[in-house]
Amino acid sequence: MHVDIDKSELDKVVKTNLAIHADAKDFLNKINLEELTSLKISDWRKQINDWKELHCFEKETKEFSTKNALNTINKVTEENLDKYIIVTDV
């Protein structure tokens, strides 16, 4: 889902499943009025935890490390590069 007040930004870089032209404040106020059902995300959480175990890395410091981030991305994608799309600033 991509919500943006600037219509020209929607699907500009990455095609989304749902593009919504709206002011973020208006969108959030409206969606907060909706009665949302509880999400069933146990399978998703299990997948995330499996990935954490498989691709965990040691933190060099408590601060963000660009080197660590790049090393982790390289490690995760080197075996299955065709399975990943890495996007920044979207």
42-65 as b/e, with b when 16 or more CB fall inside 10 Å?
A: eeeeeeeeeeeeeeeeeeeeeeee
Q: What is the pLDDT of residue 6?
A: 95
Give, rounded to a whole angstrom, the gap between the first and last alpha carbons of the chain. 11
Q: Model-level pTM?
A: 0.42
Q: What is the pLDDT of residue 88?
A: 67
Q: What is the pLDDT of residue 51?
A: 85
pLDDT, averaged per 10 consecutive residues of the chain (90 residues), comes to 94 91 92 82 90 71 70 76 68
